[in-house]
Amino acid sequence: MKSVRILIGLFFVLAASIAAKSQNADNQNAMLWKISGNGIEKPSYLFGTIHLMPAADYYFPSYMQDIFKSCTALALEVDVVDMPLKDQIAMAKRAMMPAGKKLQDYMPESDFQTYKNFIINDLGIKEKKFERMTIVQPLFSSGILLNELIKKPKGYETELGKLAKKRKMNILGLETMDYQFSIFEGISIEDQVKAMNMTDVSKNPMEEYNALKQLYLDQNLSELARMSAAETSIPDFEERFLNQRNRNWIPVIAEQIKKESTFIAVGAAHLPGEKGVLALLRAQGYTVEAVRK
């Protein structure tokens, strides 16, 4: 079931990189933010993740660990820590192509061959793995591809979940996996193929990922916000994948941090800008301060 967990864990890797392109930069660079004031008794913390990181580069220094340990709850975009296996399988099935269809059914033959040759010959993905990718919807197969290319990947949701379970912390999701999938289900396969720009084989996707990763390791939130990681033809992509979800999360966060000190971990692309979680929390009267050492 490893592939099922990878699929779920990588769900918004693409969304984070694409949607980061047009957010306004916050005036402080940090991945960890303290939330206080507005009547809450103890501070909570908001942490921006990149969702997937090579094990050698996994970034969670001791001062962040100490802050994590000071909290009594962990909030993720979705609670994947204790998701029943049957639910994991059901969600993985929803990521598949329509019955009997494969990627090549949605692309001209010449484009498909160009893409196939690039994945197998240039990126070194085995043909059997590529064939399995062709039965997964493009916006999901991109995450599987990234997982193959990153050396010994680690996911923040998985790692933080392990720490939380070890400390017997409460674990919750800001939204459901069903809601996340519902966003995708309104996007045609044809639009997904266009958005992925699969015939652009001019550079290795790891070059773009490594640039994004370095900005993350530098805690350069403002540059991450300006970085144009990709263009997409999907209508209202940013509104659907970022802005609406940010708005949905605020009342959930507000209710949770009244109860207990909570470590909230979401994709870094959700933090900055006028419609980002940092600004939305401040608009609700909270004090939100960068924590960086």
User: What are the per-10-residue average pLDDT scores of the chain (293 residues)?
Assistant: 40 43 56 96 95 89 96 94 81 89 94 92 92 91 84 89 96 92 85 78 77 88 64 69 93 98 94 92 97 87
Distance CA 157, CA 209 (A): 19
Helix (H) or strand (E) holding 291: strand 287-291
pLDDT for residue 46: 98
pLDDT for residue 262: 98
Distance CA 133, CA 246 (A): 30
pLDDT for residue 127: 95
Burial zone of 100 (CB within 10 Å; 0-12 exposed, 13-18 middle, 19+ buried)? exposed
pLDDT for residue 224: 75
Asked if residue 47 is part of any domain, the answer here is yes
Contact between 52 and 147 under an 8 Å Cβ cutoff? The reply is: yes
Distance CA 102, CA 100 (A): 7
Structure-token pair, residue 7? 């699929």
First to last CA, the chain: 39
Number of domains in the chain: 1
pLDDT for residue 234: 67
**C-alpha 285, offset from chain centre:** 27
Backbone torsions φ then ψ of 174, nearest 5 degrees: -75, -20
Distance CA 40, CA 272 (A): 23
Asked if residue 87 is part of any domain, the answer here is yes
List the domain range (segments joined by +) for residue 118: 2-259+269-291
Structure-token pair, residue 208? 């773009």
CB burial string 183-214: b at 16+ within 10 A, e below: bbeebebebbbbbbebeebeeebeeebeebbe
Asked if residue 38 is part of any domain, the answer here is yes
Asked if residue 222 is part of any domain, the answer here is yes
Asked if residue 264 is part of any domain, the answer here is no
Asked if residue 130 is part of any domain, the answer here is yes
pLDDT for residue 44: 98
Question: Alpha helix locations (H) across the chain?
Answer: 2-9, 13-19, 62-70, 85-94, 109-117, 127-133, 138-149, 156-166, 177-184, 189-196, 205-217, 221-226, 237-238, 244-259, 277-283
CB burial string 51-86: b at 16+ within 10 A, e below: bbbeeebbebeeebeebbeebbbbbbbbbbbebeee
**C-alpha 284, offset from chain centre:** 25
pLDDT for residue 196: 75
Asked if residue 211 is part of any domain, the answer here is yes
Asked if residue 190 is part of any domain, the answer here is yes
pLDDT for residue 227: 62
